[in-house]
Amino acid sequence: MSVLGKSVFGLGSWNTWDRMEFGDAVRLLRTAADAGVRLFDVAHYDFGPHAENSQTDVIFGKAVREAGIAREDYVLCGKLWLWDYPRAGFARQLETSLGRIGTGHADLVVVGDYRERPDVARVVTEVAEQVRAGRIGGWGVNNWLAADLDLALEFAEREGLPAPEFAQLKYSIARRSMAEGEFYGKHIASGRLVLQASDVFEGGVLLGNATPARKIGADPGGIRQSIVDASAELTAIAADFGATRAQLALAFCLAYAPVANVLFGVSRAGQLTDNLGALDLARRHGTEIRTALDHLWLDRAVNPDGSW
């Protein structure tokens, strides 16, 4: 099993730690670790289209140390961006991102987000170099064309290099086509890749926040208004299971067998506690929940292949 599965939940960092008081961030991290949340997705976001002077990775590094969480006691999932690759090579990116966090290695990295199709063999080879150097333990992909993912898997196998272990994809009640469609789905269904579900709340839209104040993820297929319109129904469905909307959204993901880890972002301890209740909900009612929500798969008509 990938180290990804060591923590069924993971805390994301995008637009999270830099929107909190430092003391609150420390307490939240300590609470998460004590509750068994061991995976933290932390990236250097002040890069490419996210060049917004973000300090979220720096804050995380300081807060996790202040919380007394030893490096060996958590899984760090970082990112390697392909926006400016190969000019911004992986060694340089890791030196920057790990230095800002204050650690020498990431247990996992997600490689992705490209505007132009990369030299896949070069990407796989350079990732392997970073694995051999001990800077990363394993890797996954996000927002790759399926044909490029196929090339990466085939090249890694042929050359005896570390292959992608997981795909970090938008996956939620409303968006399922990337993970369950024919392109990525064949690798996930076969067990060649496990799924890390991200953007599970659609930036808060599925929780009832139709106009989030903070920047949220992209809207592939232009279906966000449809998600807004459908989200009100979730209150009644959640009530049928004695759950909150957040618990329902998370339990939906957890009940899909290929999901190894579910990412979410929280800024308050109460949100974290509520979210953790999804684990028991999924165990008790996972199959029923997925059946009750089947009609809310809203991106069925969206082409699931592409660099999102």
Q: Would 190 be classed as within a structural domain?
A: no
Q: Peptide bond before 118: cis, by omega within 30 degrees of 0?
A: no
Q: Would 49 be classed as within a structural domain?
A: yes
Higher pLDDT, 217 or 154: 154
**What pLDDT does 215 receive?**
78
187/67 Cα distance (integer angstroms): 38
Q: Would 135 be classed as within a structural domain?
A: yes
In 3D space, the residue among 140, 167, 172, 111 whose CA is nearest the CA of residue 302 turns out to be 172
Q: Specify the pTM.
A: 0.95
Q: Would 53 be classed as within a structural domain?
A: yes
Least confident interval from 38-47, 64-73, 128-137: 38-47
Tell whether the model's pLDDT for residue 52 goes beyond 80: no
Task: Write the DSSP assignment of the chain as a string of letters.
Answer: --GGGG-SEEEE-TTTGGGS-HHHHHHHHHHHHHTT--EEE----SSGGG-S---HHHHHHHHHHHTT--GGGSEEEEEEE-TTTTTS-HHHHHHHHHHHHT-S-BSEEEEE--SS---HHHHHHHHHHHHHTTSBS-EEEES--HHHHHHHHHHHHHHT-PPP-EEEEE-SSS--HHHHSHHHHHHHHHTSSEEEEE-TTGGGGGGT-SS-SS-----GGG-HHHHHHHHTHHHHHHHHTT--HHHHHHHHHHTSTTEEEEEE--SSHHHHHHHHTHHHHHHHHHHHHHHHTGGG---TTS---S--
What does pLDDT average to over the chain?
A: 93
Higher pLDDT, 271 or 50: 271
Q: Would 93 be classed as within a structural domain?
A: yes
Amino acid at 252: F
Residues 176, 299 contacting (CB under 8 angstroms) = yes
> Could you report the per-residue pLDDT of 18-32, keeping only the tens digit for each?
889 999 999 999 999
**What pLDDT does 141 receive?**
96
Q: Would 71 be classed as within a structural domain?
A: yes
**Number of structural domains in the chain:** 1
**What pLDDT does 209 receive?**
86
282/243 Cα distance (integer angstroms): 11
Higher pLDDT, 9 or 182: 9
Q: Would 105 be classed as within a structural domain?
A: yes
Least confident interval from 44-48, 79-83, 259-263, 275-279: 44-48
> Could you report the per-residue pLDDT of 187-232, keeping only the tens digit for each?
999 999 999 999 999 999 999 987 777 778 889 999 999 999 999 9
Q: Would 159 be classed as within a structural domain?
A: yes
Task: Give percent above pLDDT 70 in the chain.
Answer: 97
Q: Which residue range(s) make up the domain with 42?
A: 3-164
**What pLDDT does 306 receive?**
66
Supply the CATH number for residue 80's domain.
3.20.20.100
